[in-house]
Structure 1
């Protein structure tokens, strides 16, 4: 089992955890900005996605978290700012709750709580995976039914999602649908920033950012106006500025 990662820059480390069904390529708009601000930026592909190994099994929450720990340990990182996106926030929360290597936590468009949509998507994934992914990425980048992302970029991301392990794509949904984050959320003690698009059509803010703000003591919530679930891409300037201000503070 091998995990592909990229490691750029110097300074305090920022580790980026992408969400389902994409890869570390999702962070293209963040890496350069954070490196330019003086940070060491590590992004990796979760198992089954991108250029990481594609085993038949192991797409459960505990294994995803262990993979994150393996990347941090292998690179000897300390004082980490851990940044999760969407379902990638789940292992970010669990790891931050139990590791002394994390100093700050950022949760972008968090999909941490179990959602009935996960089971609906899992069924579609088994028989109509590509159309399902196409529909998901429409919702990822839509606000009030209108796309906030150009179609060429969306199709590029669809290609990345379609290339992922079919087994991993489906089993990752099962992990989301059976999540039980309450205990880990209560153990998060590091400064935490939650960033969500106001128009998130995939995980409504009341079920994502607002709910997490109540669950994590002392956390702060930033809502980006007119932004979708995929705000790190569509509203990269505002998203990056919020994170860099958090890091500077």
Structure 2
């Protein structure tokens, strides 16, 4: 039987709730540029650390798709949220999609640089995590912010992100990648009946746009795909003003 796991969260502001789900291998600190902007726009903003990351508990097991989805449900249920705008980034979009397909608490879904389909690179990253975790994370975060081979983020902030990633459970860092290896969102995407906004960086060097946002948009009729020119995978950080504006306009529509 799975033991109870403590999940760290932050809850700021009032108004319609926005729940932010970070992606591998970071923490809810990823959303610094969104939290203040969304609170100032009149929203209640909740962000949490996925199990194994940030300030949440770091159990040995539980790094699978269903458990991540149950963790998200536990946060929403514990806070009694409804009419939620659920915002996922990268691999965090996987449980955002899964939860939206199963819950009546979500009013809108935002998928930022979604990583929801399987990719062989996940196996390679998991193998690298076993013996070269920090080096692997450093390389991943370089690709997160790269545009045509050049960084779209100052090095101090990139190194801050690397510290966040390095502080995660080594076990969680490796095992979470199995979700990406075996992902199959087709049935969940087909069940979603709420408005969906997909925000994609035009120059994503981590997951090509045609295998990410564009693929999701083709799978979900009526979804809106917004592409930020010259933006990398981590567009919510590097191009936060444009990214935030797109999301806030979607919520207000």
**Alignment-derived partner of residue 220 in structure 1:** 224
Structure 1: gaps spanning 5 or more residues: none
Matched, 1:42 2:46: yes
Structure 2: gaps spanning 5 or more residues: none
Matched, 1:21 2:25: yes
Q: CA deviation at 1:40?
A: 0.1
**Alignment-derived partner of residue 3 in structure 1:** 7
**Alignment-derived partner of residue 131 in structure 1:** 135
Give the 3-state SS of the residue equivalent to 2:171 in structure 1.
helix
TM-score, scaled relative to structure 1: 1.00
Matched, 1:201 2:220: no
Q: CA deviation at 1:175?
A: 1.2
Q: What does residue range 1-249 of structure 1 map to in structure 2 within 5 Å?
A: 1-249=5-253
Give the number of equivalent residue pairs. 249
Q: CA deviation at 1:217?
A: 2.0
Q: Distance in 2 between matches of 1:100 and 1:175?
A: 24
Q: CA deviation at 1:174?
A: 1.0
Question: How large is the Cα RMSD of the aligned pairs?
Answer: 0.4
Q: Distance in 1 between matches of 2:189 and 2:121?
A: 22
Q: Is the 8 A contact 1:80 1:101 kept in 2?
A: yes
Give the 3-state SS of the residue equivalent to 1:35 in structure 2.
helix
Q: CA deviation at 1:125?
A: 0.4
Q: Distance in 2 between matches of 1:113 and 1:86?
A: 11
Q: How far does the alpha carbon of each residue in 1:58-77 deviate from its partner, in whole angstroms, 9 at most, with x for none? A: 00000000000000000000
Q: CA deviation at 1:216?
A: 1.3
Q: Distance in 1 between matches of 2:179 and 2:130?
A: 15
